[in-house]
Structure 1
Amino acid sequence: MLRSIAARIAQALGLILAVVALNFLLIHITPGDPATVIVGESGAGDPELLEEIRAQYGLDRPVIVQLASYVGRVATGDLGESYFFNQSVSSLIANRLWPTVLLVATALTFAVVAGTLVGVFTARRPESPLSHSATVLALVGFSMPVFWTGIMLVILFASVWNLLPVQGWHDVSYTPGVLGNIADVAEHLVLPALTLGLIYLAQYSRLSRASMLEVLESDYVRTARAKGLSESSVVYKHALRNAIIPVVTVIGLQFGALLSGALLVETVFNWPGLGRLAFDSILRRDTSVLLGVLLVSSVMVIAANLLTDLLYTVIDPRIRLRERSRV
């Protein structure tokens, strides 16, 4: 088991190195000159100043040399300096990482828990009107673009009902102190997390429903019922543990899409996370910040997939037995 984990970590490190190189090359072959962004519009017409800036930031060197230098700095934890914010990329990302983690974790938890419960309910009563209604709503939720959902929620809760804040993650007049801070952030978090979670709730409900329907027809479930166990024990203790494995698989595979959706949600709600930082960096051609955000996002996706592999062994003990048999 430990040997398998070590091998996967080694593969993850190699993949991160490939991602760093690919991101760097893709950004540097796109049109545009960061030097013109650094000097601003007033100095962009001065060729000597532009050459001086390129030499200062190493932009006049060949791309391969710049790539080797960047990989070396990343290996030491140095992500460079922001051209626009005039501070280290590491500090910028550190300040924006927690809001994104909070948003993604809340949306994912909501989608998985609610989607799984809806899927289990509809699988137990597949022909009931509520089951058909849940199926239709899931398809509608899956079809809605995440930015459109966010805009509709803004109109509904800010313009029509005026119940929840729709921008930022702090109010100017929030109550000082730990509890006041938590309450204010939670209030601002409701709409972004709901927007991001709705589409994945629809997917997980459909997936858990299909998986539960298959598991409920298994021999061991019929055996459990024949032993006289209660229906809730059969469903939640025996069937759900196996039915949730496909859901865990999809979580790992879709974590990258979840982060991409977070970029749109953070833009709609002006949420101060990595997605908003990436959006601003693209507009300002701040390549150092954009590379840093892409690197951190890639590490998060790779770590999520590695964690998914480890969760398999917790959910299904048979996977642990197979791992031991290979050693």
Structure 2
Amino acid sequence: MKRAIQLIRRRAISSIPVLLVIVLLTFFLLESASGDAVDAYLVSIGGGDPSLVQSLRQSYGLDQSVIARLWLYLSSLARFDLGWSVAFDRPVLDLLIERLPNTLLLMGSATTLSFGLGSALGILAGARPGSLRDRLFSTVSLVLYAIPSFWLGLMLSIVFSVELRWLPTSGIETIASGRTGLARVADIATHLVLPVATLALIYLALFLRVMRAGMAEVWRLDFVLFARARGLSRARIVLRHVARNAVLPLVTMLGLRSAAMLGGSVVIESIFAIPGFGRLAQEAVSGRDAPLLMGIILVSAVLVILINLVIDTLYAWLDPRVGASETAS
């Protein structure tokens, strides 16, 4: 436990300059882009006179220098103030708090489902490498992983929502349903079936292939041959020896895919009209809302760092050799 706490502390401290670099790079990249929120607003209303443009730029603080705006933004961040959304005319923090739970629910459900089923199917495939079951699972996983997520989401929606009418087509819950308690939970779960299935099927295939490949490598190691020579049952060798050692690369892949799934949620949230984090980023880009986009990128970076911190801790718990050199110094 002490070693894990030291590892978390070291990684957390090292993430501070990473966040600072992300903030600076994002700020200057957005500054170098053509157009801003005022231009987007003028396009939406069909133009405006110079006095209106000057008034809007003054109210949004766009008439100041780049360094002045950077200093203002950094000083606001120090007070945990992410600024004001120009497109929504609301505080950025309020928008993020409103939208983020939907994306975390979508990502968490899809990640848990894909990791659990992918690991289990990978163990079944890797229990007998080269068998008919192994070839079947590997072929199906390759097909699933090759399917674009937007196409799979649309096909699932057409089949189960339009043709069969079993599931809702869009949204996170029924609008103005007035449901509370377990009824609302069931309604949200029903709306999440298709988007979660779309994400989970794609990443399930990846976890299956990684687990199967890891087990195929472990089968060749000497300690597995020794276990078989001792007369241990195949089920015990698979679960207690082969799968346990093959799960380490899978944990690493879990961290990478969890971070990538945050970006992949943009497509899924757009297809199923889920008011989540990814869709909010799309709206911020289309509205050229720099403060909102900065807040989204910053919170996304924090989430990625937290995910990798959890994965590093889990990896250190599974393999005591990981992080030993860091905590020893």
TM-score class, shorter:
over 0.9
Deviation track 1:48-91 (CA, whole Å, cap 9, x = no partner) reads 12112212221111222212211221121101111122111101
Counterpart of 1:16, as a letter, is: L
> Which residue number in structure 1 is paired with residue 108 of structure 2?
105
Q: Does 1:243 align with 2:234?
A: no
Structure 1 CA distance, aligned partners of 2:44 and 2:100? 31
Aligned pairs (5 A) from 1:47-126: 47-126=50-129
**Cα root mean square deviation, aligned:** 2.0
TM-score by length of 2: 0.92
Structure 1 CA distance, aligned partners of 2:323 and 2:286? 48
How far is 1:318 from its partner? 3.0
Contact in 1 for aligned 2:36/2:289 (Cα 8 Å): no
Deviates more, 1:228-237 or 1:274-283: 228-237
Structure 1 residues 153, 42: closer, same or farther in 2, change over 3 A? closer
Counterpart of 2:160, as a letter, is: F
> Which residue number in structure 2 is paired with residue 212 of structure 1?
215
Say which of 188, 191, 207 aligns to 1:188.
191
Q: Does 1:30 align with 2:33?
A: yes
> Which residue number in structure 2 is paired with residue 288 of structure 1?
291
Structure 1 CA distance, aligned partners of 2:320 and 2:326? 10
Deviation track 1:173-201 (CA, whole Å, cap 9, x = no partner) reads 75722110111111111111111122211
Structure 2 CA distance, aligned partners of 1:322 and 1:217? 29
Contact in 2 for aligned 1:215/1:243 (Cα 8 Å): yes
Contact in 1 for aligned 2:316/2:322 (Cα 8 Å): yes
Structure 2 CA distance, aligned partners of 1:72 and 1:255? 31
Contact in 1 for aligned 2:7/2:323 (Cα 8 Å): no
How far is 1:3 from its partner? 4.2
SS in structure 1 opposite 2:279?
helix
Say which of 276, 280, 285 aligns to 2:279.
276
Deviation track 1:276-312 (CA, whole Å, cap 9, x = no partner) reads 1111121122222111111111111111112211111
Q: Does 1:234 align with 2:208?
A: no
How far is 1:47 from its partner? 0.9
Say which of 279, 296, 300 aligns to 1:297.
300
Structure 1 residues 41, 121: closer, same or farther in 2, change over 3 A? closer
Contact in 2 for aligned 1:174/1:184 (Cα 8 Å): no
SS in structure 2 opposite 1:127?
coil
TM-score by length of 1: 0.93
Say which of 306, 309, 314 aligns to 2:312.
309
Contact in 2 for aligned 1:38/1:83 (Cα 8 Å): no
How far is 1:135 from its partner? 1.0
SS in structure 2 opposite 1:17?
helix
Contact in 2 for aligned 1:174/1:180 (Cα 8 Å): no
Q: Give identity over the alignment, percent.
A: 39
How far is 1:317 from its partner? 2.4
Structure 2 CA distance, aligned partners of 1:153 and 1:71? 44
Contact in 2 for aligned 1:242/1:315 (Cα 8 Å): no
Structure 2 CA distance, aligned partners of 1:320 and 1:294? 29
SS in structure 2 opposite 1:98?
helix
Structure 2 CA distance, aligned partners of 1:113 and 1:175? 34
How far is 1:42 from its partner? 4.3
> Which residue number in structure 1 is paired with residue 132 of structure 2?
129
Contact in 1 for aligned 2:37/2:87 (Cα 8 Å): no
SS in structure 1 opposite 2:82?
coil
How far is 1:205 from its partner? 0.7
How far is 1:232 from its partner? 2.6
How far is 1:320 from its partner? 5.8
Deviates more, 1:54-63 or 1:177-186: 54-63
Contact in 1 for aligned 2:42/2:48 (Cα 8 Å): no
How far is 1:322 from its partner? 4.8
Q: Which runs of 5+ in 1 are unaligned?
A: none
Structure 1 CA distance, aligned partners of 2:107 and 2:289? 24
Deviation track 1:217-270 (CA, whole Å, cap 9, x = no partner) reads 222233334444433332222322221111111122233321111111000000
Counterpart of 2:195, as a letter, is: P
> Which residue number in structure 1 is paired with residue 182 of structure 2?
179
Say which of 224, 233, 239 aligns to 1:221.
224
Structure 2 CA distance, aligned partners of 1:145 and 1:43? 37
